[in-house]
Amino acid sequence: MQRVALGSGGPEVAQLGIGTWAWGDRLFWNYGSDYGPAEVRAAFEAAVAAGVDLFDTAEVYGLGESETLLGQCLRASNQPVKIATKYFPLPWRWSAEAVEEAVSASLKRLGVERLDLYQVHSPLNFFMSAETLMGALAREVKRGRIAAVGVSNYGAAQMAESHQLLAAEGVPLAVNQVRYSLLTREIEVNGVLDTARKLGVTILAYSPLAQGLLSGKYTASNPPSGARRLDSRYGAAGMAAIAPLLDLLRTFGKKYDRTPAQVALNWLICQPGVLPIPGAKTAPQARENAGALGWQLSGEDVQQLDQASVSWRKA
C-alpha cells in the first residue's frame, strides 16, 4: 500500500484516512441511536486492520466526545496511528494563550503527548489575527506538542497567507482540509487546489462521498436517517440529477470488483496531492472505505468520471 506525506516532510500516512465527525455527534449523525461506543471502537479496529492509520477529529465534534472516544480507542490498541484534530477560533478565543489551552485540552481528551496534525477549523480572522494564530501554532511545533500544522476551509489567498506566516517561523503548512468529491469540485476552479499544489500543501478531502450521496445506497424513497434526510439532494430531483454519475460508478464498480463508494474514493486518490477522509461509524463502513486502497482507476476511467461530474466543477 502506497504511503504519502502530509505536506512537505510531514507525517507519512496511507492514502486514505478516517473522519470522525460522527463519533459522539448526536445533533447531525444521531450518535447513540443506532450506533454508539461499541460500533465506533469496531470501526477504529477495522480501519487499522485494513491499513488505515490517519484519524481526523476536532474539539467541536460531539463537543469533545469524538476526541474522547478516539482516545479510548488509542489506549485499547497497540497499533501506531496518526491523529489529526482541529481548533475552532470561537468568539471568546482571541489570544495565543487560547490556542495553547485548546491544544492542552485536546491532548488530554485524546490521552497523547503530541498531535501529529493540528488544524485551524475555520478562517475566522476577525476573532484572532492570522499573525497571532500562526505564531501560536508555530510555537507549539517548536515546543514539540504538534508535529504538523494545517488549516481547514481556507480559500486560496487565506491558505497562501498562512503558508507565508508559518514559513517565516520555519514551519511548513502541511494541509488544507476542504470539502471535495465528485459532487463538490469547486476547489478545482477557485484556486484552492492549484495553490495547494504550488505550495506543497496536501488537500484533505472531507465529505468525499458527499455525505453518502455517492455510495449508491440511497434513493428518493429511501433517504438516510437524521439531518441528512432534509438535504434536497436526496429528493427526487436531486437523485435524478446524479443518476448518470451513479450509473457510471456502478459500471466501474463491476469492472474493478468494487463498490460505487470505493470507486468514488479512488477517483480522489488518483488526484495528485489529495487524500480523502471518509467517515465511518461502523466496522463494515470502515472496511468498505479501506477497499478504495491498493488499486487504481485507469487514466481513461478517471477522465470519464471527470466528464460525468463536470457540472459540479463550478465556483
Burial 208-230 (b: 16+ CB within 10 A, else e): bbbbbbbbbebeeeebbebebee
Q: What nine digits make up the cell of 21?
A: 465527525
Active site residue 180: no
- Domain 3-210+266-298 -> CATH class: alpha beta
CA distance 187 to 203: 10
Q: How confident is the model at residue 231 (pLDDT cuts 50, 70, 90)?
A: low
Q: What is the pLDDT of residue 221?
A: 52
Q: Render the burial of 153-187: b for 16+ CB within 10 Å, e for the rest.
A: bbbbebbbbbbebbeeeebbbbbbbbbbbbbbbeb
**C-alpha distance across the termini of the chain, in Å:** 34
Round to whole Å and give the CA distance between 146 and 165.
Answer: 17
What is the helix (H) or strand (E) element at residue 56, kind and residue range?
strand 54-56
Number of Cβ within a 10 Å radius of residue 56: 28
Catalytic choice (31, 35, 61, 87): 61
Check residue 216 and give its pLDDT.
76
pLDDT tens profile 113-125: 999 999 999 987 7
Digit-coded pLDDT (tens) for 50-83: 999 999 999 999 999 999 999 999 999 988 999 9
pTM of the entire structure? 0.93
How buried is 34 (Cβ within 10 angstroms: 0-12 exposed, 13-18 middle, 19+ buried)? exposed
Task: Report in angstroms the alpha-carbon separations of 261 from 105, 120, 231, 287.
Answer: 35, 28, 19, 12
Q: Which residues contact 263 (CB under 8 A, 6 or more apart)?
A: 249, 252, 253, 256, 292, 297, 305
Confidence class for position 229, pLDDT limits 50, 70, 90: low
Q: Residue 94: which of 121, 126, 141 has the closest Cα?
A: 126
Percent of the chain surpassing pLDDT 90: 78
Cell 458527499, residue? 210
Q: Tell me: the pLDDT tens digits for 156-212?
A: 999 999 999 999 999 999 999 999 999 999 999 999 999 999 999 999 999 999 988
The pLDDT of residue 225: 63
Taking residues 24-32, report their average pLDDT.
87
Torsion of CA 118, 123, 125, 127, to 10 degrees: -80
What is the reported pLDDT for 203? 98
Instruction: Say which amino acid occupies 118.
Output: Y
